Chains A and B, each alone.
Chain A
């Protein structure tokens, strides 16, 4: 089932009167349950593409259809709602909220969804148990390792059962063991919960795990292959 389609997507930035083209004429389609890596050298447009797919940014030209709906026609608050209900984000620098405990960080999307305190706590703890990080629940993010923080970030990204998880270089700050463990975890979530994962990465370990590899160069797709 198609969940995402990108049509003729071009993104340009203007800086000091100079227009820089970050993406050019991208056409892609993603189906539910895919485990896709968007790879490419720095500056190839991986993060820009993820941001546009995740409705954090708008294309200069072209369209993005998410679950059949044209994102360009959505208001800012409608896009927030789509992200809240359907999309999870994992960032390179974990980006957990430092003043919240790990459990509260995982609860955060559920709170935004309006779930009651008791239910969201229970659900967040269940996810954390599933990811083997329940013992970190009451600790603050800065008191646990990078790998553990990224697991908490994964828990936060999937706690509200999104259809799509976008991960921007999730293993870039991790050692190889933690990175491998994190990828195992995401593969497990992908298989067990049928969540679609799209990564941006130039990490060979990640690329090797991809079932679909999209290679970007200078803002264009140079390869789109199923592994």
Chain B
């Protein structure tokens, strides 16, 4: 305690110099907190947006469907699978889907699309396309309705109420077509989806493709996306428990469905660690420099306390406390300042609409809401004080190497 008290008072000997170090820590901590919370916010929103726009947390298909997209590859024994999924607790819901790649044509133009047949009420539990309708309304249970994206609408030059014809190949490989009326136009904010997905009632899709009661995909949604892999494992385990041949099925998490996006997020995560390292090194050099100066200025004093009989361990402790205290003051202040900046941003968001095109290509909306999580808080609160503690070691070694008889005469 006495050593800590001494160290505390020592850092205020040269207030200006200590404050420069503390300010550098404050800037480092608050900027890393904001940078990290911004990064976490982007990642969360990106994943959330991708999941809720189409992909869901876990998808179930017949083995091979995801790769080949053959209409004939419907889910075997889908009622049994649906009843099994229905028994799962902690899921938001599931949706039955029919998926077919085809062409959609208007009087003016044509576009290659993915025709997604859904049960509107079930789909609402999985995705939020119904919330992203910019014109018209979402699907009801009326026949021959279609919801298309704004981009597709622009390409086809259609408006609400206009007719379009979808053409695909049915289960037997024959060309099939059906007329739909545009009742809603959506904008998901993700170019990849907006360019391709159109939504029709499940029964219409089944009829068009001669699928009977069959479906291609079951999309399952859960509250916490981080538990997607856990859910996948549970589904596979349930298939085995119910003597269902799980080789017939492919169960994929959203991470497996979006490998490029996951790689991007991983790179982003690595980058945030690089930022930490850069800030850490900057703080490290600043503190080492300051502590070396304070050691050089106090050689005589170190000589005196060495003469009195201080042990090296206590001398080291005192110097490390000094740098640690500066780190702690800077960290706490930086954390508070970071929070004060973070808080309004997390409520009102940061408007990035100037970059809306590129944001949309990454599945990001125009407004980013920074998000603090436990890892960000732990990183922010521990890394810099740890670095400052490390920074005290070199000056401390310098101090204990002093020769007491020379140090005590040092002027």
Interface residues in chain A, defined as those with a beta carbon under 8 Å from any beta carbon in chain B: 47-48, 51, 54, 56-57, 76-77, 80-85, 87, 89, 91, 95, 97-100, 104, 107-109, 111-112, 117, 156
Contact = CB atoms under 8 A, between A and B. Distances in A.
Contacts of B13: 98-99
Contact of A95 (B1, B9, B301): B301
B404 interface: yes
B301 A97 contact: yes
B31 to A, nearest CB: 32
B379 interface: no
A47 B408 CA distance: 11
Given A56-B408, A112-B310, 15 more contacts: A51-B404, A56-B306, A56-B307, A56-B404, A76-B312, A80-B309, A82-B309, A83-B308, A89-B304, A91-B304, A95-B300, A95-B301, A97-B304, A97-B305, A111-B3
Contacts of A76: 312
Contacts of A80: 306, 309-312
Interface string B10-23: 10110000000000
Interface string B274-310: 0000000000000000000000000011001111111
Contacts of B301: 95, 97
A17 B399 CA distance: 26
Nearest to B300: A95
B252 to A, nearest CB: 64
Contacts of B409: 47
A156 to B, nearest CB: 8
B1 A117 contact: yes
A166 B1 CA distance: 29
Given A80-B306, A97-B301, A112 B314 contact: yes
B408 A108 contact: no
B interface residue count range (under 10 / 10 to 19 / 20 to 34 / 35 or more)? 20 to 34
A99 B310 CA distance: 17
Contacts of B306: 56, 80
B213 interface: no
Contacts of B307: 54, 56, 83, 89
Nearest to B308: A109
A108 B308 contact: yes
Given A56-B405, A99-B9, A99-B10, A109 B312 contact: no
A47 B13 CA distance: 30
A112 B13 CA distance: 22
A201 B50 CA distance: 85
Contact of A112 (B12, B300, B309, B403): B309
Contacts of B134: none
B6 interface: yes
Nearest to A48: B405
Nearest to A81: B309
Interface centre among B9, B308, B409 (most CB of A within 10 A): B308
Given A80-B306, A84-B308, A97-B305, A111 B2 contact: yes
The 9 closest A-B pairs by CB, nearest first: A84-B309, A99-B9, A57-B405, A83-B309, A51-B405, A56-B405, A111-B2, A95-B304, A56-B404
B269 to A, nearest CB: 44
B6 A100 contact: yes
A104 B8 CA distance: 14
Nearest to A83: B309
Nearest to A84: B309
B10 A108 contact: no
